[in-house]
A and B are shown apart, each in its own frame.
Chain A
Amino acid sequence: MRGFLDTHRTGQAVALGEDQRPVPLRKHAPGLGDFIMDETVAEYIRRTVLKIPRDEIKTMLQKWGFLSEAQLQTINFHQLKDNISQDVVQLCEENSADIKQAAVLDIIYNYIYPNKRVWSVYQMNKTGEETDFFDLTDFKKKIKRRLRSALKNVTITFREYEDNAVWIRIAWGTPYTKPNQYKTSYVVYHSQTPYVFISASVLKSNLPLLCQALVVASNYHDIREMELRSHSLNSLKDIVFKRYSQNFQTYYPKPLRERDVAPETDLRIIQENKNEKERIERVNREIFGDGPQPKLEFAQYKLETMFKSDPKMDVLDKKEPFRCLVKFSSPHLLESLKSLAPAGMADAPLSPLLTCIPQKARNYFKIREKKGLFPGSFVSP
């Protein structure tokens, strides 16, 4: 157990001291004669190594920097992964690794494989216009203080990357139980922006506390979920930082060009088909742009809109909304949506409900009927 169980102040001081050190972390000697590495730490390192593809283990361990180059030389990286992991654990025992170092290895793995998690985007707001100087040390201190005062047992690990991103790994415990290292939350914060990318663990109950800590630590006023989620952290960044090429702002539906009237029907049909094809391509380009789309895997719509049917059909005439939940999923959602109209599966232009995703920076929607508007308009693009 850590010292901060006695008084918070001492606890913070200890934690701070460790965190000001730049990564990679020092190889520490805890000062106990024969320190035995915690079994759970050993097991955690072993399992983390097992997650890494075999031909990447060495580079990842080098990035970790906890084992010396000489130690790494002793490992045969061509043997079974299980054996590699045992060897790594043994070397870590020699260096007396603790959970802090193990957590850094986990961050490195997650930084290289962010797509293994689902990320949600949060946006923070300020009340005033004042711009604060962002002090990383202060930020870390405040996060720790907030989380620890509520839970006591929590492993918080930071790692900074070149793109001004701070990666935070949090393993949650309770005042009475140790942190669960296998159900971690991840936070990626770009200090120059109001956006936070959170991959919450299954332990969702701590999410409000985490959000509160982030708001306090970064001097914002409040935080809200943007309803934008994906496995692809980079695509989420592309969307909220507007790093993709999409000319949606310039798009207004244009009236159809007058068709050339050909004397013969066949010719006219061919011409019309050609014109229609060109129109679809043009509209599609205007909406989606020429560049690659940001990568999202899903979009979800909760529809509570009226059911409007052909009066001739004489079906369901209800005043209450027709409740549906529609989910789109694809390895690359926006690219597949883009190809729908050219493939003849959808109208061009596609519904603004779908094409607004990158622009509105969200992929979870609740759609209600707009009162007094012409049927068919649910949201304005």
Chain B
Amino acid sequence: MESVDGAVRTLPSIGRLSRGLLFGGVHGRVGLSPSSRLLPPAPPSQENVDSQKTTFLLRKQWTLYSVTPLYRFSDTHLKDYARLLSAFIAAEKQKGLAVEIGVELGIKVAISSLPDLRGSDRDQAAILVQLSSRSPASPKNSEEKVIWSGWFCSVSGDDFSENVPEDFTCLPLFLANGAESYTSIVGSWFQKTFDCCFRRLAISPLNLSWMAAMWTGCKVDKTASAMELVFSVPHLPQPLDISYAIHPEDAKALWDTVQKTPGEITQEEVDVFMDCLYSHFHRHFKIRLSATKLVKVSTAIASAHCDGIIKFLQSQYLTGVLMLLTELAISQIQ
């Protein structure tokens, strides 16, 4: 447990500082970014603190949603919720709403808590929902296979949670992996049961450029994959996509000379970083990337698509990425 303490110990300061950044009057409207953010938390000194419990979250595509606070949700009743949700899914399937064919065998619902996934102890522990079924081919022997998973979380979203009335639980970020039909069934059950509201969380080009800069600066192994920016050029008779991949060492070298403010990243630094990359590109191709739309950012840390799809690639930076996503989810709710 020492290692978990270590993780928690490093984080409160981040939570405190980000509050100022989040609600310090710099922004508040949906889609706007704060003018500065903290550097992503450094990986904990202990070896892979909670990686064991969170590795299953890595290298999967998660679709992002923002969720308004849950009314009268209690994490002491997770087993009951699982039972109720299971009955709800069975009923929905009977109505023929679910499109899956051939999954006639019952779907098992498990709801559990992921206590490691939070920024500070003032954050609500993350809640994981998993739907699993046995393969119809060999129902007896086969292991249960997870067919859909989704999780609610809040990493350093405590400023938001402090401002909601009692009886409400703040888990503003929801991530789903699996068939959309299950996402909609599970979502509608939560919506109905806890009077909350789900909305797809798109990531603006501005926030994508934040991610590009923040993640480029993170330290990873030597064999790190390239930092790739994907742009789409709108309104052409023929669509055009441009992938601009930069060697991770060179991207980091550039970022390290751009990033000058100690302990935090400013909007200006992000802009300079992107402008530098754009002008290098322009020097070669005479194309203005600033006039195109940044649609995807991939780094060794994570990849993010503007449609609100994310893939986590490094467990030690999981909470760092979630912190930013929690912030985006909160600003969408507000």
Contacts and interface: CB of A to CB of B under 8 A. Distances in A.
Contact of B240 (A310, A317, A328, A347): A328
B226 A315 contact: no
Interface residues of B, number: 34
A301 interface: yes
- Is the interface on chain A under 10, 10 to 19, 20 to 34, or 35 or more residues? 35 or more
B240 A316 contact: no
Interface in A292-339: 301, 303, 305, 307-310, 313-318, 322-333, 335-337, 339
Contact of B250 (A308, A322, A336, A340): A322
Main secondary structure of the interface of A (DSSP, over half): loop
A316 B272 CA distance: 12
A335 to B, nearest CB: 5
A315 to B, nearest CB: 5
Contacts of A349: 286
A350 B253 CA distance: 29
B292 interface: yes
Contacts, number: 122
B56 interface: no
Given A318-B253, A344-B291, A329 B281 contact: no
B244 A331 contact: no
Interface of B: 226, 233, 235-247, 250, 253-254, 257-258, 272, 276, 279-288, 291-292
A159 B285 CA distance: 42
Interface string A344-381: 11110111011000000000000100000001101000
B247 A324 contact: yes
Interface of A: 301, 303, 305, 307-310, 313-318, 322-333, 335-337, 339-340, 343-347, 349-351, 353-354, 367, 375-376, 378
Given A331-B239, A335-B237, A316 B283 contact: no
B283 A325 contact: no
Contact of A316 (B235, B257, B292): B257
Contacts of B235: 343
Sorted from nearest, which 3 A-B pairs have the closest CB atoms? A323-B247, A336-B240, A336-B238
Given A315-B276, A335-B237, A328 B286 contact: no
A231 to B, nearest CB: 14
A330 B236 CA distance: 11
Contacts of A347: 282, 286-288
